[in-house]
Amino acid sequence: MTAEPAPASREAPRARFRPPAVPQVDVRGFWGSRVDAVADKTADILYERCVEAGMLDQLDPDRPVPELRIPFMSMSPAAVTSGKPTFTSGTVTTQMFWDSDLGKTIETAAYSLYRKKNPELEAKIDAVIDMFAKLQQPDGYLSSWYQRMQPGLRWTNLRDCHELYCAGHLIEGAVAYYQATGKRKLLDVMARYADHIDTMFGPEPEKKKGYCGHEEIELALVKLARVTGNDRYMKLAKYFIDQRGQQPHYFDEEALARGSDPSKFHFGTYEYNQSHKPVREQDKVVGHAVRAMYLYSGMADVATEFHDDTLRVALDKLWDDLNSKQLYVTGGLGPSDANEGFTADYDLPNETAYAETCAAVALAFWANRMLGMGPNRRYADVMEQAIYNGAISGISLDGSLFFYENPLESRGHHNRWKWHRCPCCPPNLGRMIASIGSYMYGQAEGEIAVHLYGDSTARLDIGGKEVRLTQTTRYPWDGAIGITVDVDAPTRFALSLRIPGWCRKASLKVNGEAVDLQAVTIDGYARLDREWKAGDSVALDLELAVERIHAHPEVRQDAGRVTLKRGPLVYCLEAVDNPISLNRVALPSDAPVDARYEDGLLGGVVTLSAKAKADATADWGGTLYRTEPPKSEEVAIKAVPYFVWDNREPGEMLVWLRGG
Ligand code: FUB
Ligand code: ZN
């Protein structure tokens, strides 16, 4: 895992790469099972749990306005005694952003409907959409919270209250549902809302100079602009990006207008929501992790769409900072629960890692959008790292139980839950998994990039001509990838194939003829620029060696420790396979590690086995301390991919093993 060089060592084409829409890619194999679990189970579960939480009671204008279900997090003393919420600045209940949970649930359902018909779920989602349509005000405004729970307060607290964030998630849901079903009711509703937002915010003197405390609207507006072709939304996305952190600071002015003291901001610093300075001056990843990743995703989209190199430069500095000092080996991020985010360089505690599922999902979003500016494995490798480890660890194999935090060590009491008071993660991961096909490829004028490998068929668009690519592979368990090209007539395009940075030995053949990888590789992608004919075949072989990974010496929690990785997958020990206290185990640096595919285990996984050493306890009697070091005994260990942990009996789990 060596650091990748800064991008474009050789001049790469300045094409804009867009991800394919979800229905353009049918996934099978590894991702097929994951998407099926979401389509068969998660999508329905998300809807049902939103209903149980009371979200439709808050949304449906035909029902009476409900009591508050989830108390404000920092209520005034009067509110505590009366049990009634009193609005004070900085007070938040997660109920304020229920519209976002519904938006992500709609999005997950939409992608699931591509996979499998589910008329019952579709009817339920249609009914939710009808509620949103009915609730929408004549001016286009739409928020179940501000229209029903706190009327009269709209646009008074962008810093804390997620108003534009909710709009963003509903926009994403609307785009996906339109693409999945062809039904445009929610899309039209959200376009009207976006039009309204555009009348409220912007550089014109009469408009507010605000932006959301929780980024999300930016990337959503880009999606809306792409699907509607309406440039107004693209410009609004750029405005929100450009305006963030400018002086006078909007959140100060807004707080004063509410009668609040801006210096009493609960999180103390605007680093929390990345508005501490204008985005082009930011070079350090700070604050709330999901917010940061969503901001950078929006910045990357805007950089791509506007060919804005000033944003690109800032993004690369932020990328370097995250990857060189603040990212867990699992692609998890944001170690602290206090700010759900970043702390200090190299502070990566394992057992207490917050590493919210949403943050790893959002890192995949960011990485994917960096690829809009051209294929470069420095981004795609990290996208893969986050997706295969710290993101999908957040859902059980059957798609029914979830993690909010993704620690790298557990004593056995961190277990998957059914639902959460703040249920942001399950639908975020649901939508990511169900749309995985769109992360696998990028398409541009005369260009196709394959970012991720997996058994699948893609129907891509090259200047109006369809190119069908079929990947045949058992990846990530096996590194042999066959790709067949199918075109109606010979078509010239460049096919760029990622050669992952973790791969020490790769070989490539086109129609059986070896390709000199060094000669064709740009920024970690083998670029095959030729006229392709139906039946052309590409064979890519990526060696999946087992690697020992060491952390930078400044990561004190990992000092003297090692973890195992094979291809994109990080491994861990679980008590169920290793009946010994896991911190007694040390893996000698020369111990051979065997990889074996176990069909019947956890849906079929490659496990890693080795002979390790363990500190013996038998001769310690009742002594707690002694001058003689512990004796060493041999112990057989078996590691499983991190993402499958806690799918069997609960018990200890450990990613970073003591080295030997
Ligand atoms: O604030 C909305 C979402 O809830 C955030 O993205 C998560 O971190 C959680 O706080
Ligand atoms: Zn979350």
Range of the domain at 429: 22-70+92-438
Question: For residue 284, what is the DSSP state?
Answer: S
Dihedral (Cα; 135, 141, 144, 147), 10-degree rounding: -90
183-193 pLDDT tens trace? 999 999 999 99
The CA 53 to ligand 1 mean position distance, Å, reads 17
- Name the closest-CA residue to atom 3, ligand 1: 424
The CA 112 to ligand 2 mean position distance, Å, reads 20
| R_g of the chain computed on alpha carbons | 25
Please tell me the predicted confidence (pLDDT) of residue 74: 66
Q: What contacts 389, CB < 8 A, 6 or more positions away?
A: 329, 330, 331, 332, 360, 568, 569, 570, 641, 642, 643
Q: Residues with beta carbon inside 6 Å of ligand 1?
A: 97, 214, 290, 340, 356, 358, 422, 424
391-413 pLDDT tens trace? 999 999 999 999 999 999 999 99
Task: Return the CATH number at 515.
Answer: 2.60.420
The CA 53 to ligand 2 mean position distance, Å, reads 16
Q: Assess whether 428 and 345 both reside in one domain.
A: yes
Higher pLDDT, 550 or 421: 550
Q: Assess whether 517 and 592 both reside in one domain.
A: no
- Name the closest-CA residue to atom 4, ligand 1: 424
Q: Assess whether 420 and 495 both reside in one domain.
A: no
Q: Which atom of ligand 1 sits closest to the CA of residue 291?
A: 6
The set of catalytic residues is 340, 424
The CA 148 to ligand 1 mean position distance, Å, reads 22
Residue 563 backbone dihedrals phi, psi, to 5 degrees: -125, 160
Residue whose tokens read 């249920």: 423
Q: Which atom of ligand 1 sits closest to the CA of residue 362?
A: 6
On whether residue 482 sits in a domain, the answer given is: yes
On whether residue 370 sits in a domain, the answer given is: yes
Q: Assess whether 575 and 499 both reside in one domain.
A: no
The CA 43 to ligand 1 mean position distance, Å, reads 20
Q: Assess whether 141 and 205 both reside in one domain.
A: yes
Task: Tell which of 517, 542, 567 closes a domain.
Answer: 542
Classified as helix, coil or strand, 112 is helix
Q: Which atom of ligand 1 sits closest to the CA of residue 288?
A: 8
Mean pLDDT of 135-149: 98
238-248 pLDDT tens trace? 999 999 999 99
On whether residue 532 sits in a domain, the answer given is: yes
Q: Of the candidates 48, 112, 47, which has an alpha carbon nearest to the alpha carbon of residue 432?
A: 112
Task: Among 420, 424, 431, say which to mutate for ligand 1: greatest number of ligand atoms within 8 Å of CB.
Answer: 424
Q: Assess whether 507 and 648 both reside in one domain.
A: no
On whether residue 13 sits in a domain, the answer given is: no
Q: Assess whether 103 and 139 both reside in one domain.
A: yes
Q: What is the pTM of this model?
A: 0.96
Please tell me the predicted confidence (pLDDT) of residue 451: 98
Task: Among 92, 157, 290, say which to mutate for ligand 1: greatest number of ligand atoms within 8 Å of CB.
Answer: 290
The total of structural domains in the chain comes to 3
Task: Tell which of 510, 542, 574 closes a domain.
Answer: 542
CA count, 13 A, side-chain hemisphere, 273: 24
Q: Which atom of ligand 1 sits closest to the CA of residue 165?
A: 2
Q: Assess whether 310 and 177 both reside in one domain.
A: yes
Q: Assess whether 536 and 555 both reside in one domain.
A: no
On whether residue 82 sits in a domain, the answer given is: no
> What is the residue-averaged pLDDT of the chain?
95
Q: Assess whether 528 and 418 both reside in one domain.
A: no
**340 alpha carbon, closest ligand:** 1
Residue 8 has pLDDT above 90, yes or no: no
Q: Assess whether 556 and 512 both reside in one domain.
A: no
Q: Of the candidates 110, 133, 144, 131, which has an alpha carbon nearest to the alpha carbon of residue 38?
A: 110
On whether residue 454 sits in a domain, the answer given is: yes
Residues at Cβ < 5 Å from ligand 2 ion: 356, 358, 424-425
On whether residue 187 sits in a domain, the answer given is: yes
Task: Return the CATH number at 305.
Answer: 1.50.10
Q: How confident is the model at residue 73 (pLDDT cuts 50, 70, 90)?
A: confident
Distance CA 4, CA 381 (A): 10
Distance CA 203, CA 651 (A): 55
The CA 127 to ligand 2 mean position distance, Å, reads 25
On whether residue 7 sits in a domain, the answer given is: no
Residue 503 has pLDDT above 50, yes or no: yes
Question: Could you tell me what percent of the chain has a pLDDT over 90?
Answer: 93
Task: Tell which of 374, 406, 438 closes a domain.
Answer: 438
Q: What contacts 116, CB < 8 A, 6 or more positions away?
A: 36, 39, 40
**394 alpha carbon, closest ligand:** 2
Residue 434 backbone dihedrals phi, psi, to 5 degrees: -70, -15
Q: Assess whether 264 and 151 both reside in one domain.
A: yes
569-580 pLDDT tens trace? 999 999 999 999
**356 alpha carbon, closest ligand:** 2
Distance CA 499, CA 519 (A): 13
Q: Which atom of ligand 1 sits closest to the CA of residue 97?
A: 2
